[in-house]
Amino acid sequence: MSIMSDKWIRKMSQEQDMIEPFIDGQVRDGNISYGLSSYGYDARVAPEFKIFTNVDSAIVDPKNFSPKSFVDRDTDECVIPPNSFALARTVEYFRVPKDVLVICLGKSTYARCGIIVNVTPLEPGWEGHVTLEFSNTTPLPARIYANEGACQFLFLQGNEPCETAYSDRAGKYQGQRGVTLPKL
């Protein structure tokens, strides 16, 4: 496997709509940066949040996840309670080629504030909006800014396409739009 450069990411996004919408270069202008970087792509968080709450004393169960565990907010700024988390999604829609694995890392600006961004790898052949988890590890409320950089995606290309891609398995998160909760 090898990590793919900005030139490859640009080509795949222009020719195969790998990232849509695609921002060709880093945008800052008082924002947390987003867009194409040297060896990755900094995605933005959409203004659609699900903030974890324990109002109903629900149990967190990945096999039977209750949507009542969240309050929904459509907002440009999301405040996450102390020691809690929020789900969100990328502005960008991704279409991963069958010979590529995508790894996500949080932005250092958020990490330096105790805010961790977690995303599982984007498998070969997967497509959709990426569901993001923002964990506030601090004892204070934490703010997330919509339509600004949230995380960086790194693209690793294999020597050949995988034998069975996510799209071939009809994966349960294939083609997801919006913030997607756990499924069985």
In degrees, to the nearest 5, what angle opens at C-alpha 100 toward C-alphas 96 and 101? 90
Catalytic residue among 48, 123, 127, 133: 133
Structural contact between residues 120 and 133, judged by C-beta atoms closer than 8 angstroms: no
CA–CA gap between residue 182 and residue 122 (Å, rounded): 16
Say whether 133 is catalytic.
yes
Q: What whole-number distance in Å separates Cα of residue 104 and Cα of residue 56?
A: 32
Taking the CA of residue 160 as centre, how many other CA atoms within 13 Å lie in the half-sphere pointing to its CB?
3
Instruction: Please choose, from the candidates 77, 94, 167, 82, the residue with its C-alpha nearest in 3D space to the C-alpha of residue 129.
Output: 94
Residues annotated as catalytic (active site), given as ranges: 133
